[in-house]
Structure formats: C-alpha cells, structure tokens
Structure 1
Amino acid sequence: MSEPTLSVRGLTKTYGARPTLLRRDPHRLTAVDEVGFEIAPGQTLGLVGESGAGKSTVGRLVLRLIEPDAGTIDLLGTDLAALPRGDLRRMRARATMIFQDPYTSLNPRMLIKDAVAEPLIMHTDDSRRVRHAKALDMVRRVGLTAAHMERYPYEMSGGQLQRVAIARALITDPAFIVCDEPVAALDVSTQAQVINLLNDLQQERGISYLFISHDLRLVRLIADEVAVMRRGRLLEKGPAVRLFDAPEHAYTRELLAAIPGRTPRARRFTGGRSEPVGHER
C-alpha cells in the first residue's frame, strides 16, 4: 500500500481575541482543534461543514500559509510543520492552492500568459520562451485558447478565470492541491465543467485534492472520502458512499437533510453522461 500524499495529526490553531468592555483580559478562540486525516495518492478528501467551521483554516494550515500552533503535517514524506522557510518555498511547487475567488487571486494588471507562467519563475530556471510554451500548453489543457493568453482578468468571465487559476496551480506539476470553495462563485453549468476538469486532471496526473466546500452536492460529485467539521473539530470521516448513505453523526445527518432536492442516488458529472457516486475511477 502506498504512503499517503498528506497525513495530518493533531492540527491546532488558536487566535487571540481583543479585550472588550465586558472582558478586559484577552481570551483565545480555537479555530482548529486537534484535526487529523489522511489523503491517499490520486484521491480527494471533501472537507465540509457550516460557515465558520474552520475548513478554510485547515486548508491554509496544511500548506503553512498560516502557521499551526500544534500538530504534524506530513506532505509527500516531508514534515512540513518543521520545514525551514527556504525549503518550504521549494515544496510549494509540489503543493498548491486554488482559491475561491479568481478575481482577487489574480493580479488585474498582469496578462493571463504572465499570471499562469509566474510560478515557473519562482520554482524553475526555465527560459522565458520555455515558460511561455508551458503556459500555453496548460491554458489549452484547461479548455482555453492562445487568444485568452493576451487578455487581462477583467476581460474574462468567472468560469474562464477559474480555469486560469487551475492552470496556474497546475503549471509546476503538483502532487497535491487544496481547492478552497473553487466553484462557489460560479453558475451551475460552469460548476459542472470545472468539477469535470478537476476529475479529468486527477485521473491524468494522479493529483490528490483537499476539496473544501459548504455545498455537499458538489462534494458528492468529486470526493472519495468526506470529513465533516464543526466549530473547529472533526466530527466524522469516511468513504463518501458510506457517509452519504449512512451517516453516523447527528450533525452530518442535519447537513444532508438540508441539501435541496436530495435524492438517494446523486450522480457525477462526466461530460455528456453521468455515473452513480462510488463508481470506480
């Protein structure tokens, strides 16, 4: 059995709250409380829960975009929590993030071709010509054209920009990607296209995803396993098929009951057809 791409143990993050008139002494707020999970190579863990559950904080912690207070983060066989800053920067070529809002994650003054190629400047010694060729290939891979390379972000739709964000995340050939609400701002048809794209790229490249979302319908379409968070703690985790069909925790049952139009057999988007959840990929 292969080693997990990501293994997290005891991950904890607290923040200090400001003093108020009623409470003069600052107190601590626990955003993430001893969270642990694993993600196997080529698999997707869906991390779900209500707003404020700590999901996005976990996504940033596992990449050390924010620093944990405690816990271990074993990423690709490396203890990320103990990695010096210089080595951490190099590791980020292999572990990247797709943010929720492509409008704010992309530089509005930068052409798309430069935005997609920018990670190559930080992580490779490629010439400008090679960087451009790789960026063009990746832009085409995510369903855009060479003409899109010469545009600025404001000249593109939300769906097109999210494809740019995916291309930028993939340009360094990562093994692991945190997808933080990557389709929440898109319409339903565009969501389907992006989910299909992520599934296709995973099958092609063997990428592992941490897919963070409050929308359980989307999680059911992409996740192999699902973890449920509430108030910073992990309440339940298991295979997607089992968790959706027979949840063990009362809070998970509440989340599932709130899905609009829920049916016993949700189905995956697969281009022009659909497959039952749990179909082997």
Structure 2
Amino acid sequence: MTAALSVRGLTKVYGRAGGPFRRHGPALTAVDAVDLDIEAGRTLGLVGESGAGKSTLGRLILRLIEPDAGSISLLGTDIAALSRRELRRMRAAATMIFQDPYISLDPRMLIKDSVAEPLLVSGGHTRARRREKVSDTLRRVGLRETHMERFPHEMSGGQLQRVAIARALITDPSFIVCDEPVAALDVSTRAQVINLLNDLREERGISYLFISHDLRLVRLIADEVAVMRRGSLVEKGEAARVFDHPEHEYTRELLAAIPGRSPRSRRFGGTPRSPGLDPISGVG
C-alpha cells in the first residue's frame, strides 16, 4: 500500500547550547530519532505516558514545530523542503485536531467563521461556497445549521469537539493528526466521536495518527499501535498483536495499569458499535 506518512530519524531537542532555555538545565531530547510509517487509509495509535513526546511528534510531522534532524514524507511530499507558502497549502491536505477545542477555537469568532477559516487560507472559494461547505461539514459531524451562528461559549464540550473535527475536515484532508481528541469528553460522547472518525476513514480513506494515553480507547480505532517512551518508540505493530502479545516490558506495564485489567486479562473485544459494549473498556 501507499504510505501516507514516512518519517526517518525525526529528532527534536530542547535546551541546546546557546538556546533560550539552556540556563535552566541540560538539553532535553523530546523526540529521539523516530522512524514511523502510516499506510494510506490506516490509523496508527500512538500511546505512552504523559511527557513521552507524543504531542511533540505529532506537531513535528506537520511542521507546526521545526525538527532538529530527520526527514518527513507526508502524502508523497518532502515537507522539510516546502516554503511557508507551500506549507500553508499542504495543511489543507494534512491537518490536526487538537485536544482542547476551547483553546483551538477563537472565543470571539462565530462557529461558521472558525470552521471556514482554513478555506480562507487555502483560497479558491466564494463566500457562498464557503457557507455551503461549512453547513455541509457541520451536518456531517452531527451539528445543525443553527450552530453556525453561535459562539464557542454557547456550546457544550462535545459540540465544540465536533466543531474542531469539522474545522479539520473542511478542506477534505487525506491525513489528520488527532492529539487526544476525546480526552475531555464524557464516555458516551467519546464513543460517538470515535464512530465518526471511523466512518470518515471508511468514506474518505483518511489516514490518522491517533495520539492518546488511553490504551483502551486506542484499541477501538487503531489498525497499528506504536508505543512511545522518553522520546523513543519502543514497540510498534498490528494492534491485535501489541495488545494481546506485547513484546516490550514498558508496553506490558502500560497494559497492566489499565483499570480493571489483570496482567492475564488483556484481550479487548468488539467495536464502539457493539450492542451492550462499554465504548471505552471494550467489555460488554
């Protein structure tokens, strides 16, 4: 299959000699020579404890922050070679859903304007076409046209996360980095959002890097899993293999720490749609 993402030797170090944070202590390697591939139409779940470097890796892939070393081929394009103008155009095809919609959405902007903003950046759409596309996209994520005229503070957390997803989808991307996109949502809303992401992948062939510290959640959406620790990938493989037969001790520790799970009971069954299934633990 075609690779949506191919990363080699990706590295980010903070606090290098002469850098602005050097006086606070030694250099910190946030991402350490990471190699990673995601095939088109597939979802890779990136897991690890807080501070492992997951979010930094996601931002590096989209060049929201600049790497210190390594190469990034995204949708067949060497994005390290792109100018700022070319990179803005690239972000119509490769975008990000952030963890906290309250931060990623401007509280002073109406929902319709926040969702339409990426279309303004990419250009080529009339005002009427932008409104039509915003309306269609909001409806696709389960919101009504009346939500277009609201401000973020007038909506619930679940609705705002759907707005954030709509904003990411408005340019019809082929690759999305999902950075803890449901961490702040209640259980039922999490299941709805996971179902939505799965549906969109089936309909549009979108590839996802799904970042989460919640292994139970990742099991419901990921085709493959990569385990990150202290900036390095310690294990990667098909989701069923990693969850049922983990090879690295750190992966086994993460699985053993799942609430309600003993080391001998690590199998996860079903999908978020299974009748009577707990959408987070995967247990009926």
TM range (shorter): over 0.9
Percent of aligned pairs sharing the same letter: 72
Deviation at 1:28, TM superposition (A): 1.3
Q: Displacement of 1:85 after TM fit?
A: 1.5
1:76, 1:244 → 2: CA distance? 28
Counterpart in 2 of 1:88? 87
Q: What pairs up with 1:32-47 in 2 under 5 angstroms?
A: 32-47=31-46
Aligned to 1:266: 269
Describe the superposition over 1:98-141 as per-residue Cα deviations: whole angstroms up to 9, x where unpaired.
00000110010111111111111110221111100000000000
Task: Indicate which of 16, 23, 27 corresponds to 1:19.
Answer: 23
Match of 1:279 in 2: none
- Do the aligned residues in 2 keep the contact of 1:48 with 1:213 (CA within 8 Å)? yes
Give the 3-state SS of the residue equivalent to 1:12 in structure 2.
strand
Q: Evaluate the alpha carbon distance shift between residue 272 and residue 117 of structure 1 in structure 2; reply closer, same or farther with a 3 A threshold.
A: farther
Alignment of 1:116-135 (within 5 A): 116-135=115-134
2:125 partner SS: coil
TM-score (norm 2): 0.92
Paired letter, 1:71: G
User: Equivalent residue for 2:281?
Assistant: none
Q: State whether residues 44 and 224 of structure 2, in contact with CA within 8 Å, keep that contact through their aligned partners in structure 1.
A: yes
Deviation of 1:272 (Å):
5.2
* Distance (Å, rounded) in 2 between the aligned partners of 1:151 and 1:169: 18
Q: Write out the 4+ residue segments of structure 1 that deviate beyond 6 Å after TM superposition.
A: none
Q: C-alpha offsets along residues 51-97 of structure 1, whole Å, 9 cap, x if unaligned?
A: 00000000000000000000010001111122221111110000000
Contact 2:219 2:268 in 1 (8 A): no
In the alignment, what sits opposite 2:238? 239
SS at the partner of 1:185?
coil
The CA distance in 2 between the partners of 1:48 and 1:11, in whole Å, is: 17
Q: 1:272 to 1:139 in 2, by over 3 A?
A: farther
1:149 aligned partner, one-letter code: M
Find the counterpart in structure 1 of residue 162 from structure 2. Answer: 163
1:42 counterpart SS class: coil
User: Are the equivalent residues in 2 in contact too, given 1:113–1:150 (CA < 8 A)?
Assistant: yes
Q: Is the 8 A contact 1:228 1:236 kept in 2?
A: yes
Unmatched 5+ stretches in structure 2: 16-20, 279-284
What is the match of residue 62 of structure 1?
61
* Aligned counterparts of 2:2 and 2:81: Cα–Cα separation in 1: 19
Root-mean-square deviation over aligned CA pairs = 1.6
Superposed CA deviations along residues 156-178 of structure 1, whole A, max 9, x for unmatched, are 00000000000000000000000
Paired AA for residue 119 in structure 1: P
Number of residues of Structure 1 aligned to a counterpart in Structure 2: 270
Q: CA deviation at 1:19?
A: 2.0
Q: For 2:170 and 2:12, locate their aligned partners in 1 and report how far apart those are by CA, in whole Å.
A: 30
Shift of 1:266: 3.2
Distance in 2 between residues matched to 1:271 and 1:100, nearest whole Å: 26
Q: How much has 1:273 moved relative to structure 2? A: 6.8
SS of 1:269's equivalent in the other structure is coil
Q: Any unmatched runs of 5+ in structure 1?
A: 21-25, 276-281
- State the distance in 1 between where 2:147 and 2:274 align: 23
Q: Distance in 1 between matches of 2:119 and 2:83?
A: 21
